[in-house]
Amino acid sequence: MKAGGETNGVSFDVQGERVLRIEGVTSGNAAEDSADRRGWLVGHFLPGSEGPRATGDVEVKWAVYQGGEARPDWGVNDRAHTLALLVRGVFRLRFPEREVLLSEEGDYVLWEPGVPHLWRAETPAVVVTVRWPSLPGDSRDVVRG
């Protein structure tokens, strides 16, 4: 194998350690590969050239927060379910009838279509969000009184 090049259809980074894409297998770094999409790594919004990451079946977000960030407006998905899974840190989600504090690694909250939400990173945190299906125009802000 040659570092920094391509061998048998496989791309490697300069250390020759990262396989990016071979037929049937895709690998990479979530933070790098989603940096220009606010953390979204998989979903309908990716161009077809992204291979299996461009799908309408599911959306996946890798979010790294410094602490203090918040979603200022209520958001809702009309047809998609959403799962937020805490990797590390403390992350708060607010719903109209309930508040959930994710504070231990592996804590999660799953909400159904039509449920508005807000969030706040209470500390530096890493959160993986999974949303299904991945539908154009399904995510929107909600005006609440």
**Span 96-131, pLDDT tens digits:** 999 999 999 999 999 999 999 999 999 999 999 999
**Are residues 52 and 118 located together in one domain of the fold?**
yes
**Are residues 123 and 104 located together in one domain of the fold?**
yes
Give per-residue pLDDT as tens, 28-66.
Answer: 999 998 998 999 999 999 888 778 999 999 999 999 999
**Are residues 14 and 74 located together in one domain of the fold?**
no
CATH number of the CATH domain containing 75 = 2.60.120.10
**Are residues 69 and 10 located together in one domain of the fold?**
no
**Are residues 53 and 117 located together in one domain of the fold?**
yes
CB distance 62 to 34 below 8 Å: yes
CB distance 60 to 129 below 8 Å: yes
Provide the residue range defining the domain that includes 80. Answer: 34-142
Measured CA to CA in angstroms, residue 62 lies from 96, 110, 123 at distances of 25, 16, 16
**Are residues 102 and 51 located together in one domain of the fold?**
yes
**Are residues 14 and 39 located together in one domain of the fold?**
no
pTM here is: 0.83
Distance between CA atoms of 85 and 12, rounded to whole angstroms?
30
**Are residues 11 and 50 located together in one domain of the fold?**
no
CB distance 16 to 7 below 8 Å: no
| Number of domains within the chain | 2
Q: Name the token pair of 103.
A: 């504070």
**Are residues 40 and 6 located together in one domain of the fold?**
no
**Are residues 113 and 55 located together in one domain of the fold?**
yes
